[in-house]
Amino acid sequence: SCGSRASLLGSINTIWNVYVFVLLGIVGWILARTQEFEIIQKILISIVFTIFNTVILFYFYDAYSDIGRVRTELIAHRHASNLIVVKNGISDNLVSFDPIDRFLSVATFIIMFWLFVVIIVWAKKH
């Protein structure tokens, strides 16, 4: 269970790393441009970035769902075997972890970043 959790957390970190790398690259590229985008460019950038964000959200949802399944299994195993969870241990943290809450927080941030990028793409440059 610990190896599974570490693997899932590693995948979440990888998803964040990819997202932040692409986000910073796009924002830097947009802000470094001196001329305004043409309308077709704005549409294409918005569509591509929306698809990218949708894929990222899917991967986050999948990873947090897997953590939720591991959590459910751990809770069932704990009850079936009458185990005591070590206070502040890995299992204790996993049992108190709410994957849906965490996913909703992540989704909120991604939607805010998406909105920010779309706004700067469509903003007029003077």
pLDDT for the residue numbered 10: 81
Q: Are 68 and 99 in contact (CB under 8 A)?
A: yes
Band (pLDDT 50/70/90 cuts) for residue 4 is: low
Tens of pLDDT, residues 67-79 = 888 878 877 877 7
Tens of pLDDT, residues 33-58 = 888 899 999 999 999 999 999 999 99
Q: How many CA atoms lie within 13 A of 29 on its CB side?
A: 10
Enclosing H/E stretch for 103: helix 99-122
Kindly report which listed range (21-25, 30-34, 83-87, 100-104) carries the lowest average pLDDT score: 83-87
